[in-house]
Structure 1
Amino acid sequence: MKDKIIHFIEEHKIIAICRGIYGESLVSLVKALYEGGVRLVEVTFDQGDKDCLTKTSEAIKLLTSTFDGKVKIGAGTVVTVDQVHEAKKAGAEYIIAPNVNKEVIQEGNKLDMVTIPGAMTPTEILDAHFAGADFVKLFPAGTLGLTYAKDILGPINHVKLIATAGVTPDNLEAFLKLGYSGAGISSYLTNKALVNEGKFDVLKEHAKELVDIASKI
């Protein structure tokens, strides 16, 4: 099971990050992204919301039932073991985190979920790798920059890395050409103002743009 999801991520590359979008707005957004070619969607746990376990679980269930495997749904900002279990029960196939928490990684692996913790330094990246992470999310990739992203790959070219935060149409190709397995992208694909205005056609075109860039690598 995990091998299929790992391959799927490597094939499709673009993970759309959805924060604070629920219900029919979320379904409409993911439909637009799907029509634009995006096949991976992360629904985050909002750590500042006391109801995040319920809201994120319900959102994941809604998407998995609506898209029936055509879009692979993951849970994001997974920072506790409880959230790992809630994500699994809701139907998420992978978990993404902003940090390296060995218990979260190992619990995800026990539940046959693909694990993608976030890291910034070489030490954090290798800690995540040796804890059993399937991919490591370089975060925040845009702030760290392409030179840093390239230098990391010198000694750490055996770890599957996903660039996240600050990845845009202007630098996506460069990250992928360096050897990054994919990219996590939020506002360009899931802008809440555009969602609230119902401008899903704009987000669909953004998805097409990014998918076209990734498909050429």
Structure 2
Amino acid sequence: MKQSVEEFSKITAILRGYDYAQVETAVAVLCGSVISAVEITLNHPDAKDIIRRIVDKFGDRIAVGAGTVLSAEDLQDVVEAGVDFVLAPSLFSRDMLDYCRHHQVISVPGALSPSEVHQCVKDGADIIKIFPAGTVGSKYFQDIQAPFGPLPLMAVGGIHAGNIAEYLHVGASYVGIASGLFRKEDIAGGNIAGMQRSLEEFAMQMEGVDG
């Protein structure tokens, strides 16, 4: 599901540390929901194989991304697996950003300080992930854009249904949500009904939130 930044989901579900069966079940629940992008982080030993299999099975229904992409080697592997976007908690090198651009993969490097944000802008990042967003708070998204002008910022870390609107209203263009979406025990146990209930409650809380 290759797409432009303009088409990219305002809300990304983050799945961290789960095996294939757990990820497959969670993504199946997400397909067709208010969330149209899922990030699978690389801190599981089989993460790259999981990503490849999820892309093959669900890639035409939901945007699939890789998270915690910390090296050029990891980037090449996940791009070859067919991801639509890549994220990190830290900066990408300019070569990594160029690689993303060449392969039409949306780049979302992590930044926190004004200097890091500015570096991402100069190097051509598609979206800038502010992490951990919960540490700096929503007002930071407004403050950081005062000198730089409008920026494509994603809030990640400490995000849940109760504060998404707050971040979007003060300057975040995107949010990533992990533990604030599904209960960890529901994903671990493959509790489809529990995940569906969580997603329904989330969708209800998101009514009236743009995007």
2:23 matched residue in structure 1: 26
Partner of 2:11: 14
Structure 1: gaps of 5 or more residues: none
**TM norm structure 1:** 0.87
Q: State the superposition RMSD in angstroms.
A: 2.0
Q: What is the TM-score with the length of structure 2 in the denominator?
A: 0.89
Asked if 1:80 is matched to 2:71, the reply is yes
| Match status 1:135 vs 2:127 | yes
Give the counterpart of 1:111 among 95, 103, 114: 103
Name the amino acid aligned to 1:143: T
Alignment pair present for 1:160 and 2:152: yes
CA distance in 1, matches of 2:202, 2:129: 18
Greater fraction of residues in helix: 1
Structure-1 separation of matches of 2:12 and 2:125:
17
- CA shift, 1:214, in A, is 6.9
Distance in 2 (alpha carbons) for counterparts of 1:25 and 1:101:
29
Structure 1 position 37, deviation (Å): 2.7
Residue identity in the other structure for 1:19: R
Distance 1:30 1:44, change over 3 A: same
- The answer (yes or no) to whether the contact 1:5–1:93 under 8 Å persists in 2 is no
Q: 1:150 to 1:113 in 2, by over 3 A?
A: same
Match of 1:170 in 2: 162
Shift of 1:183: 0.5
> Match for 2:199: what amino acid?
A
The alignment partner of 1:188 has SS state of: coil
Alignment of 1:1-217 (within 5 A): 4-9=3-8, 12-46=9-43, 52=45, 55-102=46-93, 103-211=95-203, 213=206, 216-217=209-210
> How many angstroms apart in 2 are the aligned matches of 1:157 and 1:75?
28
> How many residues in Structure 1 have an aligned counterpart in Structure 2?
208
The answer to whether the Cα contact below 8 Å between 1:15 and 1:42 also exists between their aligned partners in 2 is yes
Percent of pairs with identical residues: 27
Larger relative CO (CA 8 A, sep 6+): 1 or 2? 1
Consecutive unaligned residues of structure 2, counting only runs of 5 or more, are none
Residues 109, 125 of structure 2: 8 Å contact kept = yes
Secondary structure at the aligned position of 2:104 is classed as coil
Query: Using a 3 Å threshold, how does the CA distance of structure 1 residues 197 and 111 change in structure 2: closer, same or farther?
Result: same
Secondary structure of 1:100's match? coil
